Amino acid sequence: MQIGNVIKVLSSVLLASAVIGCSEDTEYVYVTPPIADTIDLGPFKCTDEELAENAAKDCRLYIKGSMNSWSSRPEAQLHYQGEGEYIALFSMQPGDYSFKISDPNWSAERDLAIGEDADAEVVFDIPMEMQRKYDDFTNQNMDITVANDEDQVYRFTLDSSEGINNPTLLIQNITETDADNLTQPMYLVGTFNDWTASESSVFSYAGAGNYQVQVTFAEAGTVSFNVHQGITEPLVYGSLDNQPISLTEGESSHTTYPGGKMSAQLEAGTYVFYLSALGDGQLAVPLSIAKVKAVVGHDTITGANVAANLTADGSSFVSSYSWATTSDANVTLSDDNTQTPVTKRQIASADALGRYTLPLLPIKVSLQNPALAMMSMSLSWKKRKTL
């Protein structure tokens, strides 16, 4: 199989002579499709003026709200489907949230929500008219209630076929029907696996249109890779022509096909690669990466005996957790019953103010199933001196 910018596609065969009347001397010339140089992001794409000011501006649309700290998370991105339609599959925990749809920078061209004079409460299964915030037109945060006892998956359909000023938004609960819609799997191939697609490099479905695969790198360095859909005659996802992708943690990069090689500068450790796809042949597939590690929102306790949440990133590949504390303060840990398993997140409190660190110890791989690992974490505490 050819790799990188050379893609094996039999449909791209050109004949040097006419098909009719060809002889044994006919020469068949195999050519490869050119690397794509643009991605159609629909009517909300960056304007020429925006790109002239900032060629790297991100104009993708995201669901941004209190459920994700009003951030532009890859799993909250709306994917352009053509004819003015954008779709996102988005999972939320039970609760009450406010949200809008916007690009990462809240640009006026892409600040979308319900109009100020309309009811802010989401009505499911009915298209709601949105208002783009521009000139004298304003909008307000929308309110959504996830009333079930478990996480729910929703389909957000934004229809801008009649224009970008007043698109409609349809929100449907698809929890019962959420499923892997790819007829051919996605594979991560690169320098670390000899550019070979196999069961060890396949993306597994994580729900809400999201897929992930875990890779362990024994040494730090630069790796090159592509994403293949299928094994025989795959669609090769990668970077645009003359716009190489260097994947970094915390950022999502748009891949397309036919795509060029991508790269990442990584430390030694275990990483999870994430992508989002709604079906076969999606032209724009966002790809991101996260190192399996302990993650905390803050590293300072500012009030004695105040609970703090501790959690883990990339933890869907972990089967069990082991927590311990080493501290010169009295620290108590308790399971978080909202998590599955309940040990995934710990509620910690201490009897003194101070700073803490949460290093991730080496992952222990299960011999029965290498995909299931045990994550060990320890909490170290340095008590702050008080006057």
pTM, full prediction: 0.71
> How many Cα atoms sit within 13 Å of 220 on the Cβ side?
1
Tell me how crowded residue 169 is: count the other CB atoms within 10 A of its CB. Answer: 22
From residue 330, alpha-carbon distances to 294, 300, 359 in Å are 21, 15, 19
Question: Which candidate, 208, 169, 267, places its Cα nearest to that of 74?
Answer: 208
Q: Determine how β-strand 112-115 pairs with β-strand 139-140.
A: antiparallel
**Helices (H), ranges, 22-119:** 48-53
Burial 278-294 (b: 16+ CB within 10 A, else e): eeeebbbbbbbbbbbbb
Helix, strand and coil percent figures for the chain, each rounded to 5: 5, 45, 50
Question: Which candidate, 158, 163, 122, places its Cα nearest to that of 141?
Answer: 122
- Residue 325 pLDDT: 66
275 bridge partner residues = 211, 287
Q: Determine how β-strand 293-295 pairs with β-strand 308-313.
A: antiparallel
Cβ burial of 235 (10 Å; 0-12, 13-18, 19+) is buried
Residue 172, SS3 per DSSP: strand
Residue 108, SS3 per DSSP: helix
- Residue 291 pLDDT: 82
pLDDT per residue of the chain (387 residues) written in tens, 0 to 9: 333 333 333 333 333 333 344 455 555 544 467 899 888 889 999 999 998 999 888 999 999 999 998 999 888 999 999 999 999 999 999 999 999 999 999 998 899 999 999 999 999 999 999 999 988 899 999 999 999 888 999 999 999 999 999 999 999 999 999 999 999 999 999 999 999 999 999 999 989 999 999 898 989 999 999 999 999 999 999 999 988 999 998 788 999 999 999 999 999 888 889 999 999 988 899 999 988 764 444 445 555 555 555 544 445 555 566 666 666 667 777 777 777 777 777 777 777 666 555 554 444 444 444 444 444 455 555 544 332
Whether residue 253 contacts residue 237, with contact meaning beta carbons closer than 8 Å, is answered with: no
Is the Cα torsion angle 330, 335, 336, 339 positive or negative in sign?
positive
